[in-house]
Amino acid sequence: MLTLTREDVRLGCRATDWRAALDQAATALVEAGRVSAEYREGLLAREAQSSTYLGHGIAIPHGTLESRRHVRATGVRVLQFPEGISWHDGSRVNLLVAIAAQSDEHLDILRQLTHVLERTGVAETLAGAKSADEVIAALSRELVTAKFDAETLVMELPARDRLELALAAAGRLRNIGCVDSSFVASIAGQQPVPLGQGLWLAYGATGVKTPALGLATPKQRFQDDAGDVAAVFCLAAQGDAHRSLLERLDALIARGDGAELATLPVEQILSRLSGESAQARTARVRLLNAQGLHARPARELVQVARAQTVPVLLRVLEGQGEVVPATSLIRVLGLGARYGQTLVFSAEGEGAEQAVSALADAVRGGLGEPVTPLEEKRQAPAVHAPATAPAAPGPVIAPGADETLTAVPAAPGLAIAPAYVLRLPEFRYPERSSDAARERERLEGALAGARQQLQVVVQRTTGGEVAQILSIHVEMLEDPALRDAAFKAIGEGLSAEAGWWRAIETAARAQEALPDRLLAERAADLRDVGRRVLGLLCGVELPIPPEQPYILVAEDLGPSDVARLDTAKVRGLVTARGGATAHSAILARSLGIAAVVGAGERVLALSSGVELIVDGESGRVVASPSPARRQRTEQRIEEQKALQQAAHGRRHEEARTQDGHRIEVGANIGNTAHAADAVERGAEGIGLLRTEFVFMAHPRMPDLATQIAEYSRAFDALAGRPMVARTLDVGGDKPLEYWPIPAEENPFLGLRGIRLTLTRPEVLETQLRALLTAAGSRPVRIMFPMVKDIDEFRAGKAIFDRVQAEVKATDVQLGVMIEVPSCALLAPALAKEAQFFSIGTNDLTQYTLAIDRDHPQLSVQSDALHPAVLHLIRLTVEAAHAEGRWVGVCGELGSDPLAIPVLVGLGVDELSVTSRRVPLVKARIRELTLPRARELAALALRQPTAAAVRDALEAA
């Protein structure tokens, strides 16, 4: 909705011509603090491209794409010219709605205004208004769009009753937040009415939040006492916003398309209800105009449509199904189509094919604006920083006031603080030198200085992960290949700075080219080391953070960046790039502060000092939050502090639901030294010991004695509590330098986990012997990772049985880690032989959804609350319990507050989470009852998407 205040409206303006009117509009935006003075040129440039006259006496001047950098905050200013202005296209304008938009927010304003223009007499009302309130009332008509899309459909239910189908459709509308329970109750009290062709309708207006149309179809068409039943619609009515849905439904039946509706796939159902008949010719095309379908390209599109011999209809595939004539500029603008959305053209009759093709071709051509095909964008080469300094950022636009950006959750927590944007320093130096000996000496000195700096930082760094990563930096400085490459460049006439940076960039780019993603990400470490040395050579101080608390914003975060910071003042981390394995995420988790990664380039355009909200659980960043949002967030932070304090006080108590059902809560650790900390935080045992970190911490394969010593340290700290140890899980994203694996096109689907260790059974045997020996009479649970079927488990078990017969540990179980969908589906067979299951939801999710959980673009969609993953968990638990086995969850899902009730309701017996989360997970379990948890689990299983699961659980 277009929100206006009296301060936004200026009445009784006068201007000699349209340029003078634009000057007044620009001045109004500057005085309101929305733009800088340079924005005026953007307004003029936009009119030079095409007129912004909208119709009915209204013009909507706004800047060009290039002028967005002059926008400080999104907003509008309304100027009334009662006597009218002659616009440059010959139109008569009485009202300017001047728009300052940082991205494509103006499309929402434009869409609302096009609906305002549909009212009779609005031009006269606006021209003659005597008060700002009259103008606001005329413009601020709330735009309500009825919802009908794939989310509102419930297909192929095993139902034999019309009312059951109506209630299913009503329930779906409730689950997605369109209606509340009172609406469902009103549907339960009526019988659907016949529409003909096997279609029925139930409707109500009680408890409607958003008008919507639900549809439920039975698995098989059936007859009841009232007639043939193919599908039941459920209409949530509100005002007249649902009228277009009824009109589309009426047109569908009039065309005779209702009879086959229930047999069609979802996409075709939506197509039929949008107004496209079975005989229609259609064409789809992606909209690549940077500012979406605004006035200029819309006018071009309308002109092409008017030139066709048949009427052409247009809809947005990702929209609400609204269809408009492609010949109506107002209706086309009203769609609010944005960059990247899909336009669907349809037409019938002779010439339909040519008509829709002509419009699709016009869109591909840019509609009068330069556009870049998606294929070219996808294949564009990556831009690397030059040897002299990091590349300057492109013309990206900072987030607007109270705008929410979606990123990848990296570390849980919630924080509010000013941003500190970490920008890399500029290094200025000569490219060449004639004194090679002196340049080598200078580089040697800088390398020694950098090494000394890092060693000092390592000694004073308490975080284990940070110290380990910085130690790797020391090794990089001592790498002879890097040093030789730099000296060779100096011998060719380069300066010490240029020669060193050439060596760094060459090595970093080679690292980035590696097929293994984790190794490729280490290129950031090389550049981090390189900048440290470059700073010493150039005498440039690296950035110094502010004294007050702040949220660190960076392109990516190097370990030495964190090591230089006073982490007591860092409230949160935001990075433009990176996934869950990036060092920014690792360090944030080790420091226990809120963090999101992969937030995109726009965060780098923020100014230091701008207030930010960071939500590390939902993966959201909000810049310059509104007072209301800030107040809500502060309240949530206080509530979380109180919850954390209460949870900490009860951390050593068992986790039992209110009705006495116990769930064990353990800790995930990678370093055996962290077992004591886990116990102190309330862990009832170690639910996952990532033993690969024991192997990765040594320069060569650890022998039996070394492993026994490592595992014994953990058993000693546990003092009789159980430990679940995963056998060596390397390969994929965790290579071992001393165990080289041939390059694989997709290492995540190659040699890793149990399939790798079975290629060298002596390695697995030594590890099993070490675990069993270290355990002795203490409880140990050993599990094999990446098992796909019973044969792999039996192969590992044969080695285990042989070792156990010799060692004779007294309290041991052998289980399977459920990470591969085939393993979950075959759980009934595995449960007959494995003694327990532990579900690794991180890998199970990525393999089920075919999404790399660390993919910079897709990782946000890799949600373990996806119903497909939940169904696999349910199958696993049911199979295990049928054989008297227990089931744990050791993936990130176990610490998700929204997911914990679902996991308890699905019957999971144990949750293993990071040590810091143990008290909070226990506290969440204590809030539940088992019947309520089962109810929420059933609700989640009924949803079609992960987003729907989260929405349903939040609303429940």
- Residues annotated as catalytic (active site), given as ranges: 62, 294, 583, 890
Sheet holding 9-10, edge to edge: 9-10, 75-86, 92-100, 58-59, 53-55
Which residues in 374-413 belong to E strands, given as ranges?
403-406, 408-411
Other beta carbons within 10 angstroms of residue 586's beta carbon come to 22
Residue 3 gets the label, from left (phi > 0), alpha (psi -120 to 50) or beta, of beta
Q: Encode burial over 384-409: b for 16+ CB neighbours within 10 A, e otherwise.
A: eeebebbeeeeeeebbbbbbebebbb
**Start-to-end C-alpha separation, the chain:** 27
Of residues 890, 892, 922, 468, the one with CA closest to residue 673? 468
CA separation for the pair 257, 66 (Å, rounded): 48
Beta bridge partners of 731: 734
CA separation for the pair 254, 879 (Å, rounded): 51
CA–CA distances in Å: residue 177 to residues 170, 236, 321, 950: 11, 12, 19, 11
Q: Evaluate the CA torsion angle 542, 546, 549, 553 in order and state its sign.
A: negative
CA separation for the pair 837, 793 (Å, rounded): 12
Structure-block tokens of residue 545: 């953070």
Q: Which pairs with CB-CB distance under 8 Å and at least 24 residues apart come from 448-456?
A: 449/536, 450/477, 450/529, 450/532, 450/533, 450/536, 451/477, 451/478, 453/532, 454/532, 454/560
Beta bridge partners of 781: 724, 813
Q: Is 628 exposed, middle or buried (0-12, 13-18, 19+ CB in 10 A)?
A: exposed
The answer to whether the beta carbons of residues 9 and 135 sit under 8 Å apart is: yes
Q: Is 50 exposed, middle or buried (0-12, 13-18, 19+ CB in 10 A)?
A: middle
Q: How many residues does the chain have?
A: 956
Structure-block tokens of residue 130: 């005597």
Q: Any idea which residue has 């690292």 for tokens? A: 511
CA–CA distances in Å: residue 863 to residues 70, 420, 544, 940, 950: 37, 30, 37, 13, 10
Return the SS3 of 98. strand
